[in-house]
Amino acid sequence: MSKPKSNNAKTISVALMLCLVCSVLVSAAAVGLKPAQVENARLDRNKNILVAAGMYDAESDTASDVAERFKDFDVEIVDLNKGSYVDDAALKAAGIPDRNAYDASLATKNKALSEDLGNNDPAGIGRKPKYAKVYVKKDDAGKPEIVVLPIQGYGLWGTIYGFLTLESDMNTIKGISFYEHKETPGLGARIEEPDWRAKWSGIHSYDENGNVATGVTKAGTPKENWVDGISGATLTGRGVSNMIQFWLGEQGYKPYLDTLRKESGQTIDNAADTQASQSKPAAQPKTELAATLPVANGKEA
Ligand X SMILES: Cc1cc2nc3c(=O)[nH]c(=O)nc-3n(C[C@H](O)[C@H](O)[C@H](O)COP(=O)(O)O)c2cc1C
- Where does this chain bind ligand X (CB under 6 A)? 156, 183-184, 187-188, 219, 231-236
Minimum CB distance to ligand X smaller for 90 or for 235: 235
In angstroms, give the least distance from the CB of 242 to ligand X. 13
Minimum CB distance to ligand X smaller for 152 or for 236: 236
In angstroms, give the least distance from the CB of 233 to ligand X. 4
Rounded-to-integer distance, Cα 125 and Cα 114, Å: 11
Using only the alpha carbons of the chain, give its radius of gyration. Answer: 24
Residue nearest to ligand X according to CB distances in the complex: 188
In angstroms, give the least distance from the CB of 232 to ligand X. 5
Minimum CB distance to ligand X smaller for 234 or for 266: 234
Please count the residues of the chain.
Answer: 301
In angstroms, give the least distance from the CB of 243 to ligand X. 14
Q: Identify the three-state secondary structure at position 99.
A: coil
Q: Could you tell me if residue 54 is left (phi over 0), alpha (psi between -120 and 50 degrees) or otherwise beta?
A: left
Minimum CB distance to ligand X smaller for 234 or for 275: 234
Rounded-to-integer distance, Cα 277 and Cα 7, Å: 94
Q: Cβ contacts of residue 123 below 8 Å, gap of 6+?
A: 152, 153, 154, 239, 242, 243, 245, 246, 247
Minimum CB distance to ligand X smaller for 87 or for 183: 183
Minimum CB distance to ligand X smaller for 181 or for 254: 181
In angstroms, give the least distance from the CB of 222 to ligand X. 15
Minimum CB distance to ligand X smaller for 4 or for 220: 220
In angstroms, give the least distance from the CB of 195 to ligand X. 17
Rounded-to-integer distance, Cα 220 and Cα 231, Å: 8
156-190 residues labelled b (16+ CB within 10 A) or e (exposed): bbebbbbbbbbbbbbbbbbbbbbbebebeeebbbb
In angstroms, give the least distance from the CB of 154 to ligand X. 12
Answer yes or no: are the C-beta atoms of 136 and 73 closer than 8 Å.
yes
In angstroms, give the least distance from the CB of 155 to ligand X. 7
Minimum CB distance to ligand X smaller for 54 or for 158: 158
Q: How far is CA 44 from CA 9, 66, 123, 143, 224, in A?
A: 50, 9, 24, 27, 33
Q: Cβ contacts of residue 221 below 8 Å, gap of 6+?
A: 228
